[in-house]
């Protein structure tokens, strides 16, 4: 139903997760694991990979829709970096609202990824009507 809000999904993102993601993605930029490198680059601290934030948003959506095969399109706009402190990490919360279907009947979702009170990314996804 258009306007329906899907249940929030929370992910804890730790520095260890960033190291694992760096290994999987090949993105070893030190701003993702070194406070010194991050602050030297003008950041307030270590930040998560944007693509990790996007992947976690997609994971939440596929849990709601029943699988990756139903996701036809996924666009993300990054608003703020995801700060990941060394002491326990951060919580990334993904929420989504179902929008009006497009002309082909595909469901539209707008998902927000937040850390605390800050929106770090907004994704727009097109989902096959059956979810698969």
Q: Which two tokens stand for residue 93?
A: 């919360």
Q: Domains of the chain, with CATH numbers?
A: 5-12+49-127 (3.10.129.10)
With beta carbons less than 8 A apart as the criterion, state whether 56 and 113 touch: yes
Alpha-carbon separation of residue 114 from 67, 80, 94 (angstroms): 23, 9, 6
C-alpha span between 5 and 108 (Å, rounded): 12
Checking if the pLDDT of 80 tops 70, the result is yes
The per-residue pLDDT for 131 is: 58
Instruction: Give dist(CA 47, CA 81) in Å, integer.
Output: 6
- Residue 130 clears pLDDT 90, i.e. is over it: no
Residue 15 reports pLDDT greater than 80: yes
Q: pTM of the prediction?
A: 0.92
* Minimum mean pLDDT range among 22-31, 32-41, 57-66: 57-66
Residue 18 parent element (H or E): helix 15-25
% of the chain exceeding 70 in pLDDT: 98
Burial degree of 112 (CB within 10 A; 0-12, 13-18, 19+): middle
- Contact yes or no for 64/96 (Cβ under 8 A): yes
């Amino acid at each position: 139903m258009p306007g329906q809000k899907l249940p929030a999904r929370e992910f804890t993102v730790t520095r260890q997760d960033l190291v694992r993601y760096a290994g999987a993605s090949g993105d070893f930029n030190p701003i993702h694991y070194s406070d010194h490198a991050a602050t030297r680059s003008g950041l307030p601290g270590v930040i998560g990979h944007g693509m990790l934030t996007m992947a976690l948003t997609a994971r939440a959506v596929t849990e709601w829709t029943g699988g990756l095969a139903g996701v036809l399109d996924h666009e993300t706009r990054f608003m703020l970096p995801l700060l990941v402190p060394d002491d326990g990490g951060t919580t990334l919360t993904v929420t989504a609202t179902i929008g009006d279907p497009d002309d082909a009947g595909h469901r539209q979702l707008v998902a927000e990824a937040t850390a605390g009170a800050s929106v770090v990314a907004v994704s727009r996804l097109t989902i096959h009507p059956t979810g698969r």
